[in-house]
Amino acid sequence: MELSGTVVPMATPIDADGQGVDEETLEEFTRTLIDGGVHGLFPGSSIGEFSSLSTREHDTIVRTVSSVADGDTTVLAGCCGTSIQEVRAKMETAADAGADAAVVVAPYYLNTTQRGLSRFFTSLAEESPLPVVLYNIPALTGNELAVETVATLAEHDAIVGLKDTSGDLIYQHRVVEATPESFAVFNGTTATAIPSLDVGIDGLIAGPANVFPAALTELYEAHRRGDDRTATRLARELVLPLVSTYQNIPTAAAIKHLVKLDGLDLGEPLPPLAPLSRDERNRLSACHRQVTERFDADIVE
């Protein structure tokens, strides 16, 4: 299992009547991302609208992606929820499907303490059939995993990494310093990709990789080989324009529109998200066009 590099928090294709997962399109989408060279796939992510999916739909997504990946590309299966029983059931499904690890978000809706967060994740880790990657996204959960809590949880054999979407570079630096070298730290805020790699994180869980998998993979690879010019150009001329354009648009809806511009229709976002307005679609389309005109076809297709 590779716990580094560029991982795609995959958007979820929904069928034309909005009633379920479009499995055929999901298979094609998964192959497209793998062909783009990404290091990992993350079905059941926030961009994948995990909180709007039924248990059956979640199972379908994880099984489909794992089947297409077929052990050649790391699969980090989203196993998110606030119920221990629900998360355990998702973990069992993911393990049975052949996923490599389970990504578990901090519980949301009810505010809790660091002791409560530790209890939640430790309870899951004790019986998990898969290695666990913690997921810190306090803006949406209302519960931040403190550095000290992450460091303590990292001592558990089954807890192997963290996805941090706080956007806080100091936090990421402190986690890197406080955890073993074997503990993988991923940045989930793509706008800070370069500085986060500079502070020593292991990889990017990057929404724009749904649209430009080869480019986001190259950004990571360029940084790793010391090609700062290429990495900085990709961040400045591709990542930042894209992220700034959809900053005030629901990310899942924006990503689906951007992928559709490349010829693959992932359907509309699920409620409670709304379809994009004409102005939103136009802004995203203009940005996509500008980005693709700046780069060679092999890096933006």
Q: Which amino acids are annotated as binding site for pyruvate, given as ranges?
A: 205
Told to judge if 163 belongs to the known catalytic residues of this protein, a careful annotator would answer yes
d(CA 145, CA 217): 28
d(CA 290, CA 26): 27
| Cis before 272 (ω within 30) | yes
Please state, in angstroms and as integers, the Cα–Cα distance from residue 68 to each residue in 165, 274, 294, following that order: 27, 30, 32
Give me the half-sphere count of Cα atoms (radius 13 Å) on the Cβ side of residue 165: 22
Please name the residue ranges forming H helices in the chain.
23-35, 55-69, 84-97, 114-126, 138-141, 147-153, 169-178, 193-198, 213-224, 228-234, 240-245, 251-261, 278-294, 297-300
d(CA 273, CA 218): 31
Q: Single out the catalytic residue among 90, 163, 220, 246.
A: 163
Told to judge if 90 belongs to the known catalytic residues of this protein, a careful annotator would answer no
Q: Single out the catalytic residue among 90, 108, 109, 135.
A: 135
End-to-end CA distance of the chain: 26
Please state, in angstroms and as integers, the Cα–Cα distance from residue 86 to each residue in 59, 63, 70, following that order: 12, 17, 25
- Residues 204 and 190: beta-carbon distance below 8 Å: yes
Q: Give which of 290, 300, 134, 145 is closest to 205, Cα–Cα.
A: 134
Positions annotated as catalytic residues are: 135, 163
